[in-house]
Structure 1
């Protein structure tokens, strides 16, 4: 009876004092629901503030794979189509070479799209690829999911009849490699993706409108990128083909905010800096700045040297000769310089249309793995030495460090005369220990009257490789001023 009277009186007087909202706390034990936090703004200040996941800097070495329809003609470069049909062509000399090539080898009226049926990939064995990449010592792999030609290497819902399931190998190239890489404990999987497509009508239309319209981005690129992430969960998203339009046109800030805040890889994914005009070397995750980037000095921001074993091209080219490929010494030198300056290295290969990897690429990667099996301690999870990246006295000596300088590595790219190396940047104390990676014996060091560190090396015949050698200095004396 008392409850009934209370409810009657409440219904009479509550409206006079603000209604049920005001008195809800009287009738409920639950606290009021807090307002949801506002979503962060999709701007570069917020995006750039995200820390780079630590695994990337520790990994140091990746494999880049340029593969697509351009691997069928495999002539001049992966830019074959644009050199041939671009208006204007970006390279008149190559345009003329391709015209002669087509006239000699193909019937009149043959189009670039006609090459796709011959992109057969019949020998594509993703598990064999993964085995090779693992043996190379690489820690991540980046595949071209789509190059500037627009052909997708997966059955995309946004690339009708121009993808690897509908035409060509009739296989999910991306998915198969993702699964093979996932079977390797020490490898991470990443994808390259081109924003622009040379001859996509939607892109051409937006470009004619000075990018005031976004039909290409809204209907193709943005949903395509999200499809890639949701379906394959890459831990590297390597963007390219951005330079003709601003990042606002590409909706890059929106995509990256989604990638960092909502996507299934939000905790581990890393990205590069190619997201629109003027974003290279300024915005994104790690910086790539330019192809084959080597700043020549220690950088404050994490960066990557994306380079290729074929000096002239990223895709497979049948006319390349031995001199076009980096030697193993050149590859190791490039890698050591890159890592000493604080970068990662992304080493590119180009498979053939049938899915085979050229023996020259295979040899280089296996040689690299052989070297890293001995010297990888000086590479993986290392940090640049802030005092010296290469020695002032012996320019072929490069430095990395670990444990806040408690261990110093000196990587020699050239064996010194008389088995003796002189270093200006390194120094020792009574507790310092020296050794060479791959050998059990200790090294003997002393100071010269010119204050150089003199290290006697073993006879070269005892050393297990012919390309580069690492001296490990434990408890070095830290320089005061250099």
Structure 2
């Protein structure tokens, strides 16, 4: 289908540039302050992402229901409602948004107890509703027609950032480059056709310039008025220069591709003037402003040669959906171990409800994760990859100094520890005993061919192990 689409564009006479191959090389950062922050970020390993906005009232996937694209992804509720009627109802949701249970300190305390080290919060999603007190738009949480605007905590992004910062978190600001409410992106004069800008930029360059300025000023507000920010996490990768289009980004458009250059050089320079060492993540736009990459809802099959972070939902949806099905603690911890063993970070998302609180199940998961991390966190934080990374049910990490190695056995749900833990590829230092995190016992080991066997005594097998067990040794 993609090839057919490109062929049609050429037949129609569109002047397309030569697009690069799908897998672009990673462009290393040169700013020493950013490099230092990136190295620190790779120590944090585990973070919390929060998708939240008035869309939680409808319990629909965030923003996308107002985008006239694939019906299966952008399903509107109730089914069959005319588009413009739905859009009007959707854009009126803020007038009903009054999350009276909003208490970001409760979120921060639960995330800290779970062992999370950093936060990425949605200051604005694609629908253009601002969860901060921007001066560039009236479509915001502090607008007079929003019931919550009378609350002392109305400037939600500030409250969230302050609460998590007070709990020792590093702060990331999610910001959507496309803005489907802005007349400079979706001009009401034209109907939207897909997720992209809905007018010809070449024909109306001044309007696009206004959008560039609008975006620049909003990001400057966040970078200058909301305390220390460590990460600028930019979403909406179809907003990019035409020369940087890829096969993937072309597939996101039903209309001819345009030069949606948002002027990332100027934005990045400004942002780092306010926030020295800021990590900039212009996600999916492979180039100098993508300091780390963000595979979404997936874990790479093997380690990657550049900094990366899996962003994944705790439930099935990024935003609040009534009755959402949450991943088990076992699955979440296995994901964390697998990701860290391959050199990545794990950014786990929770979507608060319209009342301003997490689902009770989310708190239960965070508590269970925290109990495991309190014992085994030394095998996660401040670690780096070591080959062979994973062998069967055993994942490997090593401390940054390379002295200690962790062999992390992924315990199947509702099973006890086996009598022998075996793996290949890493040999403990001769004479060393294997330490089990969570126990004072040290275990002998032996070599059988190219396989290392750690013998587990029956008393240790019967202990109440959950999720994963860490065997630590010198190499």
Q: Fold match, TM over 0.5?
A: yes
Q: Which residue of 2 aligns with 1:18?
A: none
User: Residue by residue, what CA displacement relative to the aligned partner does 1:107-145 show, whole Å, maximum 9, x if unpaired?
Assistant: 999621221122111000111111111111000111100
2: distance between equivalents of 1:280 and 1:404?
A: 31
Q: Which one is further off, 438-447 or 240-249?
A: 240-249
* 1:210-229 superposed matches below 5 A: 210=201, 212-213=205-206, 214-229=208-223
Q: Which residue of 2 aligns with 1:28?
A: none
Q: Which one is further off, 398-407 or 335-344?
A: 398-407
2: distance between equivalents of 1:101 and 1:164?
A: 32
2: distance between equivalents of 1:191 and 1:468?
A: 32
Secondary structure, counterpart of 2:407 in structure 1: strand
User: Residue by residue, what CA displacement relative to the aligned partner does 1:142-186 show, whole Å, maximum 9, x if unpaired?
Assistant: 11000111111111101124334442411010111122112213x
TM-score, normalised with respect to structure 1: 0.78
* 1:195-210 superposed matches below 5 A: 195-205=177-187, 207-210=198-201
Q: Which residue of 1 aligns with 2:397?
A: 400
**2:25 matched to 1:48?**
no
How far did residue 426 of structure 1 move?
A: 2.2
User: Residue by residue, what CA displacement relative to the aligned partner does 1:331-390 show, whole Å, maximum 9, x if unpaired?
Assistant: 1111111111111110000000111110111111111111100110000001111x2100
Q: 2:156 aligns with which of 173, 187, 194?
A: 173
User: Residue by residue, what CA displacement relative to the aligned partner does 1:27-61 show, whole Å, maximum 9, x if unpaired?
Assistant: xxxxxxxxxxxxxxxxx999832325132111111
Summarize the Cα distance change of 1:117–1:472 in structure 2 as closer, same or farther, 3 Å threshold. Answer: same
2: distance between equivalents of 1:219 and 1:354?
A: 34
1: distance between equivalents of 2:265 and 2:36?
A: 16
TM-score, normalised with respect to structure 2: 0.79
Q: 2:167 aligns with which of 181, 184, 189?
A: 184
Q: Which residue of 1 aligns with 2:118?
A: 140
Q: Which residue of 1 aligns with 2:140?
A: 162
* 1:61-460 superposed matches below 5 A: 61-75=46-60, 77-79=61-63, 82-83=64-65, 85-86=66-67, 89-93=68-72, 98-100=77-79, 111-166=89-144, 167-170=146-149, 171-185=154-168, 187-205=169-187, 207-210=198-201, 212-213=205-206, 214-232=208-226, 233-246=228-241, 249-260=261-272, 262-263=273-274, 265-267=275-277, 269-274=278-283, 279-280=285-286, 283-288=289-294, 290-311=295-316, 313-320=317-324, 324-385=325-386, 387-391=387-391, 395-414=392-411, 418-448=418-448, 450-459=449-458, 460=460
Contact 1:217 1:251 in 2 (8 A): no
User: Residue by residue, what CA displacement relative to the aligned partner does 1:224-276 show, whole Å, maximum 9, x if unpaired?
Assistant: 0011010113211111013143287211121112223x21x213x222232xx
How far did residue 458 of structure 1 move?
A: 3.8
1: distance between equivalents of 2:440 and 2:58?
A: 51
* 1:24-35 superposed matches below 5 A: none
How far did residue 222 of structure 1 move?
A: 0.6
Contact 1:145 1:191 in 2 (8 A): yes
Q: Which has the higher helix share?
A: 1
Q: Larger relative contact order (C-alpha < 8 A, sep ≥ 6)?
A: 2
Summarize the Cα distance change of 1:404–1:388 in structure 2 as closer, same or farther, 3 Å threshold. Answer: farther
Aligned Cα RMSD in Å?
Answer: 2.6
Summarize the Cα distance change of 1:58–1:402 in structure 2 as closer, same or farther, 3 Å threshold. Answer: same
2: distance between equivalents of 1:417 and 1:464?
A: 9
Gaps of 5+ in 2: 1-24, 188-196, 245-259
How far did residue 418 of structure 1 move?
A: 4.2
User: Residue by residue, what CA displacement relative to the aligned partner does 1:189-245 show, whole Å, maximum 9, x if unpaired?
Assistant: 221000101242211246412465523433311100011010113211111013143
How far did residue 420 of structure 1 move?
A: 0.6
Gaps of 5+ in 1: 1-43, 477-482
1: distance between equivalents of 2:366 and 2:86?
A: 41
Q: Which residue of 2 aligns with 1:22?
A: none
Residue correspondences, number:
406
Contact 1:384 1:401 in 2 (8 A): yes
